[in-house]
């Protein structure tokens, strides 16, 4: 496995190192290819299209082979957060693939700015790049916390709004796809509609910088109508919710294609969207002001931001209800209240109180079966996820939750066996519910006959 480049860190003529000893993404690098790691394939495809419209040559990585884990283990300590290992491994694997000019290359990674180790992924990536001989490759931070200010990449209000539209539309496609896929009469019809809209939205949103929200709302209604036309069976299937650490929850690379596995086992997947996590991040600034009395001005600003995000979500919920064929998500203001009595809103490391609230949200929606996907050794998620299973089961006795750890050393068969046990319990519960309904209907008919 080749890991060194002939033109190493010291011989790069275009390097622009700061006192912090890393290459800064400058204006003269705007023609560089920017590699973006995969978390939500549909969402991120639309988002990379938007980045291209704003002058950034972004490319979504789609390499999922074993080299990703191999490079991750080689350049990241195996005790480090598993998502970091995968993201960094995917990037170095792409660099080594020979597809890109290594001296015209930049990498992009999200940065939360919070206390979770996710804030440090960017430093781990830079360290890994130096170790592999690619320290001259600049790393761009995508964040709303004002970090990495010296970078030429700017998250402007227009770009931010467009990316939010992509998140909202991506969540909608994911939600409707999950509600159709297990019941489709014609195999592949759901995937066809999903890909059609991902491609169309990518084209529309990357065409120019003036996509109006009115047009986005029109697209959303058309998306719902298109999914509603898919022929589906009327059978009842087990519904399984997925919560957990954001990367492992969403990424097929991080969770060994968990969604596909659940569908293959005859289940319908239910998953809170990415917009909820964005609103959680914004709400934390507000709760800082309310609970701790700090960042009060930021709290006021982010109240307006949250109101805007809630409107985006509310408009989608209204459109779904108007169509009447699908189940909309729970409004975020209700999700906030579901944490009450279970966990404090001051618990915000990792996915914080949101993870607990999402488990309660799913159960309140009638999805009592939940997979809590977490990286092995992720302390925040072991507390707000696995650690909250007991109080959740005390509040919701019908909750059927399984916590599954994902790690480079964990075997897929062990993970799937744990999930199969949960599914077995879920199917028994569904059969008992069906038998109970039949019994009630029989009793009703007998009572009506006797009354006649």
The CATH number that applies at residue 339 is 3.40.50
Residues 250 and 138 in one domain: no
Instruction: Please give the DSSP secondary-structure letter assigned to residue 289.
Output: I
Q: Residue 403: inside a domain, yes or no?
A: yes
Q: Residue 10: inside a domain, yes or no?
A: no
User: Is residue 241 within 8 Å of 356, Cβ to Cβ?
Assistant: no
CA–CA dist 69, 83 (Å, integer): 10
Residues 134 and 260 in one domain: no
pLDDT at 259: 96
pLDDT at 1: 40
CA–CA dist 447, 342 (Å, integer): 43
CA–CA dist 373, 242 (Å, integer): 7
Q: Residue 383: inside a domain, yes or no?
A: yes
Q: Tens digit of pLDDT for each residue in 379-396?
A: 888 899 999 999 999 999
Q: What are the start-end ranges of the H helices in 146-188?
A: 157-180
Query: Residue 276 corresponds to which tokens in the numbers above?
Result: 């909820």
Structural domain of 369: 237-273+329-452
Query: Residue 443 corresponds to which tokens in the numbers above?
Result: 């009793």
Query: Residue 319 corresponds to which tokens in the numbers above?
Result: 């459109």
Residue 401: how many CB atoms within 10 A of its CB?
23
- Bridge partners of 405, per DSSP, are 374
Q: Residue 211: inside a domain, yes or no?
A: no
Residues 51 and 147 in one domain: yes
- Bridge partners of 404, per DSSP, are 373
User: Is residue 273 within 8 Å of 171, Cβ to Cβ?
Assistant: yes
The residue among 99, 127, 153 that closes a domain is 153
- Give the angle 367-370-375 at the CA atoms, nearest 5°: 150
CA–CA dist 190, 166 (Å, integer): 20
Q: What is the DSSP string of 351-374?
A: THHHHHHHHHHHHHTT--EEEEEE
User: Length of the chain in residues, anyone?
Assistant: 452
Backbone angles phi, psi at 301, to 5 degrees: -65, -45
Residues 262 and 405 in one domain: yes
Burial of 70 (0-12, 13-18, 19+ CB in 10 A): middle
For residue 176, what are the contacts with CB-CB under 8 A and spacing of at least 6?
194, 223, 224, 227, 326
Report the candidate in 234, 245, 122 with the shortest Cα–Cα distance to residue 180.
234
The residue among 102, 127, 153 that closes a domain is 153
- Helix (H) / strand (E) containing 270: strand 267-270
Residues 241 and 149 in one domain: no
Q: Residue 447: inside a domain, yes or no?
A: yes
Residues 387 and 242 in one domain: yes
Q: How many domains does the chain have?
A: 2
CA–CA dist 176, 303 (Å, integer): 29
Instruction: Please give the DSSP secondary-structure letter assigned to residue 401.
Output: E
Residues 253 and 134 in one domain: no
Residues 335 and 241 in one domain: yes
Q: Residue 89: inside a domain, yes or no?
A: yes
Q: Residue 391: inside a domain, yes or no?
A: yes
CA–CA dist 261, 266 (Å, integer): 9
- By three-state DSSP, how is residue 62 classified? coil
The residue among 104, 132, 153 that closes a domain is 153
Residues 134 and 257 in one domain: no
Residues 257 and 356 in one domain: yes
User: Is residue 260 within 8 Å of 267, Cβ to Cβ?
Assistant: no
Considering the chain, what is the average pLDDT of its residues? 89
pLDDT at 434: 67
Q: Enter the pTM of the model.
A: 0.89
Residues 263 and 391 in one domain: yes
Q: Residue 302: inside a domain, yes or no?
A: no
β-strands 105-110, 400-406 pairing: unpaired
pLDDT at 13: 39
Listed as ranges, residues in the chain with pLDDT below 50 are: 1-19
Residues 244 and 386 in one domain: yes
């Amino acid at each position: 496995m080749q890991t060194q480049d002939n033109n190493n860190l010291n011989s790069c003529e275009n390097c622009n190192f700061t006192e912090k000893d890393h290459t800064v993404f400058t204006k003269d690098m705007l023609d560089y290819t920017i590699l973006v790691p995969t978390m939500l394939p549909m969402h991120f495809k639309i988002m990379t299209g938007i980045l291209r419209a704003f002058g950034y040559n972004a490319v979504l990585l789609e390499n999922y082979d074993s080299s990703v884990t191999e490079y991750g283990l080689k350049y990241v300590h195996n005790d480090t957060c598993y998502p970091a290992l995968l993201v960094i491994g995917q990037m170095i694997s792409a660099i080594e693939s020979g597809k890109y000019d290594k001296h015209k290359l930049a990498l992009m990674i999200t940065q939360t700015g919070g206390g979770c180790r996710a804030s440090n992924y960017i430093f781990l990536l830079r360290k890994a790049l130096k170790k592999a001989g690619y320290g001259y490759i600049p790393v761009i931070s995508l964040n709303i916390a004002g970090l990495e200010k010296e970078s030429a990449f700017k998250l402007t209000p227009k770009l931010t709004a467009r990316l939010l539209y992509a998140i909202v539309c991506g969540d909608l496609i994911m939600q409707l796809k999950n509600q159709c896929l297990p019941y489709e009469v014609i195999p592949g019809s759901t995937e066809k509609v999903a890909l059609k809209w991902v491609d169309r939205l990518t084209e529309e949103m990357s065409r120019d910088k003036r996509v109006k929200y009115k047009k986005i709302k029109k697209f959303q209604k058309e998306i719902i109508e298109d999914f509603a036309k898919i022929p589906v069976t009327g059978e009842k299937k087990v519904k399984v919710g997925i919560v957990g650490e954001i990367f492992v929850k969403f990424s097929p690379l991080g969770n060994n294609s968990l969604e596909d596995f659940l569908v293959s086992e005859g289940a319908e997947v239910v998953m809170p969207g990415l917009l909820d996590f964005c609103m959680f991040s914004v709400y934390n600034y507000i709760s800082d002001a309310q609970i701790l009395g700090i960042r009060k001005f930021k709290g006021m600003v982010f109240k307006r931001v949250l109101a805007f995000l809630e409107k985006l979500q509310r408009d989608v919920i209204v459109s779904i209800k108007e169509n009447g064929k699908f189940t909309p998500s729970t409004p975020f203001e209700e999700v906030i209240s579901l944490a009450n009595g279970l966990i404090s809103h001051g618990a915000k490391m990792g996915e914080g109180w949101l993870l607990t609230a999402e488990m309660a949200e799913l159960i309140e929606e009638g999805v009592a079966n939940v997979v809590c996907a977490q990286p092995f050794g992720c302390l925040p998620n072991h507390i707000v996820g696995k650690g909250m299973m007991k109080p959740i089961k005390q509040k919701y006795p019908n909750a059927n939750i399984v916590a599954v750890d994902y790690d480079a050393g964990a075997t897929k068969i062990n993970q799937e066996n744990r999930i199969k046990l949960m599914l077995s319990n879920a199917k028994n519960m569904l059969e008992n519910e069906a038998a109970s309904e039949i019994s009630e209907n029989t009793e009703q008919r007998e009572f009506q006959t006797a009354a006649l």
